[in-house]
Amino acid sequence: MITAAPDGFRLDRLDTPIGAALIVTDEDGVLRALDWEDHEPRMRELLRLHHGAVELRSAPVPGDIRNALRAYFKGDLGRLGEIVWRVNGTPFQRKVWTALPGIPAGSTLSYGALAARLGTPRAMRAVGHANGANPISVVVPCHRLIGADGSLVKYGGGLHRKRWLLRHEGVKV
């Protein structure tokens, strides 16, 4: 398991149309977490689970990450792909998280369909659990996973944000 830099991770905030985002980067300027201000305890718990005891030090987010996120929220959806990110977790979690950016903006996929893509067609619940433990909201687009019946199910930042993100990306919800 990779641990945090000795001096901890850096924390900054970014105002978005759906609330203040908390952005955590490491000493190399790599994105480690993105969550919502009203879900800060959840974000801190995910960081603890993935990295152990982590100190968050207030520091500005690197300009390239800030600029890409601002551009995304203004409609330049492809800019998320420019953000370098790194996650810890189980091999299966990392497999799910690595697959999520392969779901193009403007489209969705069911948990079962992603499980099938990963070669584990019966693991839709495991995909759901991994998706729920994703520490990098928006950039690792867990909001693009939906129920088999097309319903919006579960989103760590709240269903109102999931609905907004999907509509912003052109999905009819």
Beta-strand ranges (E) seen in 3-86 are 9-16, 19-25, 31-36, 56-58
CA 122/CA 46 separation, integer angstroms = 26
Q: Which residues pair with 15 in a beta bridge?
A: 20
User: Are the C-beta atoms of residues 19 and 161 closer than 8 Å to each other?
Assistant: yes
Catalytic: which of 123, 142, 146, 166?
Answer: 142
How long is the chain? 173
For the chain, the first-to-last Cα distance in angstroms comes to 38
Is 142 among the catalytic positions?
yes
Which residues participate in catalysis according to the annotation? 142
